[in-house]
C-alpha cells in the first residue's frame, strides 16, 4: 500500500469506529486497536499509541457538550482522577515490559467484557439519595437538573472501593490504549451508586485526563507514530462529531447489537492471534 492509500483506509475505518462508538455511547477506542492489528497488520504498540490519541480527541470533544448540561461532577471526577492517572502511568510502563502476546490476550478478554457491557440496558441501579459519604470533607455529592427543573441530589457511597476500581480502569487504559469508559461507569454507577447520567458524563470528562497521563509515557517510548496517529485521530473525531449530529435514539438498540457482534468477533480473533504467538 502506498502512504496515501494507507492513510485513506485508516481514516475511513477510524471514522466508522468513531461513528459507531458515538451512536452507541461506548466510544470507538476499543475497536481501533483490533482493526489496526488484525486487518492492517499494524504492530500492537503503534496501534495502542494511535488509539490512545484518538481517545483524548473524542473525550475532550464530547466532554465540552456535557459540562454545559450540569451533569458532570467536577469534584468527584477530580478525586477519582488521582486514581486513574496513577493507574494509567503504571499501565503505560507495564505495556513497555509485557510481551505483546500477553497484552493481546488481556485485550481480547477486555473486548469480551465490552461486548457484554454494550448489550446491558441503561438505567440507574440504585441511586443513593439519602446516602452519607463516609468522607464528608471530600464533598463527594452533588445535584443535577431533574425532569421538572427541580434539583435531584445524590451522594457517593463506598468511595474507597470506587477509587480502587478507578485505579484498575487507569491501568487498563494505559496498558491497552483505550478509554475504559465501561469500567469507569461501572465504578461510579454500580459501586459508588451515583446516578447513571452523572456517571457517564463524569466518566467522559475523566477519560481525556487518564489518557493524557499514559500518552506522555507512550510518546517518550516512541509508540506514537505521527503518520499512523493522524488518520486515526482525525477519523475517530470526524465520526464522533457526525454521530453526535445524527444521534437517533430509535435505532440505538440495533446498533448496540451490531457493535457487540463486531467487538465479539474481534475478541475471538485477538485471543486466537495472541495464543498463536503472532501478536
Partner 1 sequence: MSESLKRDFSGAHDPSRENIGNLLRVGVLIAAAVVVFGGVLYLAHAPRAQKTSFGQFHGESEGLSHLGSIFARAFHGHPAAMIQAGILLLIATPIARVLLAAVTFARVRDWIYAGISCTVLGLLIWSLVWG
Q: Does 1 bind partner 1 (CB under 8 A)?
A: yes
Q: Would you give the distance in Å from CA 190 to the centre of its chain? A: 17
Spatial contact of 127 and 209, defined as CB atoms under 8 Å apart: no
Q: How far apart are CA 268 and CA 106, in angstroms?
A: 12
Applying CB under 8 A, what is the total number of residues that bind partner 1?
Answer: 74
Residues 97-126 that bind partner 1 (CB under 8 A): none
Q: Does 53 bind partner 1 (CB under 8 A)?
A: yes
Spatial contact of 239 and 62, defined as CB atoms under 8 Å apart: no
Applying CB under 8 A, among 23, 223, 262, 266 the residue interacting with partner 1 is 223
φ, ψ (nearest 5 deg) of residue 247: -30, 100
Give the binding range for partner 1 (CB under 8 A) out of 22-30, 113-121, 184-192, 207-215.
207-215
Q: Does 2 bind partner 1 (CB under 8 A)?
A: yes
Spatial contact of 98 and 90, defined as CB atoms under 8 Å apart: no
Q: How far apart are CA 192 and CA 36, in angstroms?
A: 35
Applying CB under 8 A, among 225, 242, 258, 265 the residue interacting with partner 1 is 225
- Select 19 or 255, whichever has its Cβ closest to partner 1: 19
Residues 126-185 that bind partner 1 (CB under 8 A): 137-139, 141-145, 151, 153
Q: Does 60 bind partner 1 (CB under 8 A)?
A: yes
Helix segments in 120-225, DSSP class H? 159-176, 181-186, 196-220
Spatial contact of 110 and 240, defined as CB atoms under 8 Å apart: no
Q: C-beta of 256: minimal distance to partner 1 in Å?
A: 26
Q: Does 35 bind partner 1 (CB under 8 A)?
A: no
- Select 50 or 115, whichever has its Cβ closest to partner 1: 50
Burial of 132 (0-12, 13-18, 19+ CB in 10 A): exposed
Spatial contact of 4 and 228, defined as CB atoms under 8 Å apart: no
- Select 90 or 168, whichever has its Cβ closest to partner 1: 90
Q: Which three cell numbers stand for residue 170?
A: 487507569
Applying CB under 8 A, among 40, 94, 98, 244 the residue interacting with partner 1 is 40
Residues 228-257 that bind partner 1 (CB under 8 A): 228-231, 233-234, 237
Applying CB under 8 A, among 12, 38, 43, 112 the residue interacting with partner 1 is 43
Q: How far apart are CA 83 and CA 78, in angstroms?
A: 9
Applying CB under 8 A, among 39, 82, 116, 160 the residue interacting with partner 1 is 82
Q: C-beta of 113: minimal distance to partner 1 in Å?
A: 25
Amino acid at each position: 500500500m502506498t502512504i496515501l492509500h494507507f492513510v485513506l483506509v485508516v481514516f475511513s475505518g477510524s471514522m466508522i469506529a468513531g461513528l459507531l462508538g458515538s451512536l452507541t455511547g461506548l466510544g470507538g477506542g476499543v475497536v481501533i486497536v483490533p482493526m489496526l492489528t488484525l486487518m492492517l497488520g499494524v504492530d500492537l504498540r503503534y496501534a495502542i499509541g494511535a488509539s490512545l490519541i484518538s481517545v483524548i480527541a473524542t473525550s475532550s470533544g464530547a466532554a465540552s457538550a456535557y459540562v454545559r448540561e450540569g451533569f458532570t461532577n467536577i469534584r468527584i471526577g477530580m478525586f477519582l482522577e488521582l486514581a486513574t492517572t496513577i493507574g494509567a502511568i503504571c499501565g503505560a510502563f507495564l505495556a513497555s515490559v509485557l510481551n505483546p502476546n500477553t497484552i493481546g490476550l488481556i485485550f481480547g478478554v477486555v473486548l469480551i467484557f465490552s461486548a457484554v457491557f454494550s448489550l446491558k440496558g441503561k438505567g440507574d441501579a440504585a441511586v443513593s439519595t439519602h446516602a452519607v459519604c463516609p468522607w464528608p470533607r471530600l464533598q463527594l455529592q452533588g445535584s443535577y437538573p431533574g425532569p421538572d427543573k427541580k434539583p435531584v441530589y445524590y451522594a457517593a457511597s463506598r468511595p474507597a472501593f470506587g477509587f480502587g476500581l478507578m485505579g484498575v480502569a487507569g491501568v487498563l487504559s494505559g496498558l491497552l490504549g483505550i478509554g475504559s469508559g465501561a469500567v469507569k461507569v461501572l465504578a461510579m454507577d454500580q459501586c459508588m451508586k451515583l446516578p447513571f447520567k452523572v456517571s457517564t458524563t463524569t466518566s467522559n470528562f475523566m477519560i481525556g485526563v487518564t489518557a493524557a497521563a499514559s500518552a506522555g509515557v507512550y510518546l517518550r517510548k516512541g509508540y506514537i507514530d505521527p503518520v499512523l496517529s493522524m488518520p486515526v485521530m482525525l477519523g475517530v473525531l470526524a465520526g464522533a462529531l457526525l454521530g453526535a449530529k445524527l444521534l437517533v435514539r430509535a435505532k440505538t438498540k440495533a446498533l448496540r447489537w451490531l457493535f457487540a457482534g463486531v467487538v465479539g468477533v474481534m475478541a475471538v480473533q485477538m485471543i486466537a492471534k495472541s495464543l498463536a504467538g503472532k501478536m
